[in-house]
Amino acid sequence: MKAAFLSGLLALMPIFVFAQDAVQRDPHQMRGLHNDPMAYIGSLEDPKRDAYQKSQEVVAVLNLSAGEVIVDIGAGSGYFTFSLARHVSERGTIYAVDVSPDMILHINRRIRDLKVSNVVSILADPDDPLLPAASVNRFFFCDSWHHIENQTKYLSLMKRLLKPKGEIVVIDFHKKELPVGPPLQMRIAREDLITQMEENGFRLAKEHTFLPYQYFLVFTAK
């Protein structure tokens, strides 16, 4: 049973990580890079990604406050993790959550090399970020929500983990043909995500439209 679980988890890793890739790949190509962690990291950190991901603008419009606790789900190489960390001060905490040991190892090395004290990595279960109740100001998903298998369960869990007035931030690719992002069949349409969130006790609080290929939505509990 344990072997079967690990096999399934390993199969998911390349898809989960390459959700943030700077070029479009089909599932076969995504899985083909599974045995090369440095290729994963190189794709996530590709300078071409900056042109459309606009990470500085994304973090700026979140209007983060010193002392916030933010959970970066599917943190990957830490593309957003360390930018978020700079905006919450030493009093805040960024939890970098991923299911891939290779990504967590890479983030741990960056924590050491950058001498960062407010980033904590978590090698998590696919359906549980392993955090205490009422401890989180914001959950941050960049191109990773569509990989959560049991999304209804995850939403229920996040509701318990969020502090009052906490937020869920979701950035993901529009469900249409684009030059970047995961295969079309893996994407969730903006309208479907909003409906899903409303059906599970959340409402759309803000929307930012400056990203060329992705929607950028902020939800709060009703």
Alpha-carbon torsion (16, 104, 71, 49), positive or negative: negative
Q: Measure CA of the first residue to CA of the last residue in the chain; give whole Å.
A: 39
Q: How far is it between the farthest Cα atoms of the chain?
A: 46
Are the C-beta atoms of residues 53 and 69 closer than 8 Å to each other?
A: no
144 Cβ neighbours under 8 A, 6+ residues apart: 16, 19, 20, 73, 74, 172
What per-residue confidence (pLDDT) applies to 10?
40
pLDDT tens for the chain, residues 1 to 222: 434 433 344 444 443 443 455 455 444 454 544 567 777 777 778 888 999 999 999 999 999 999 999 999 999 999 999 999 999 999 999 999 999 999 999 999 999 999 999 999 999 999 999 999 999 999 999 999 998 999 999 999 999 999 999 999 999 999 999 999 889 999 999 999 999 999 999 999 999 999 999 999 999 999
Taking residue 41's Cβ as centre, other Cβ atoms within 10 Å add up to: 18
User: What's the confidence (pLDDT) of residue 12?
Assistant: 42
Count of other CB atoms within 10 angstroms of residue 132: 8
Specify the 3-state DSSP secondary structure of 14.
helix
Look up the pTM and report it.
0.85
> What DSSP string describes 92-155?
SEEEEEES-HHHHHHHHHHHHHHT-SSEEEEE-BTTB----TT-EEEEEEES-GGG-SSHHHHH
pLDDT at 52: 95
State the Cα angle at 137 between 124 and 145, rounded to 5°.
Answer: 45
Question: How confident is the model at residue 44, as a pLDDT?
Answer: 79
Looking at residue 24, its pLDDT comes to 52
Tokens encoding 64: 């983060």
Measured distance CA(84)–CA(25) in Å, rounded: 28
Cα–chain center distance at 47: 19
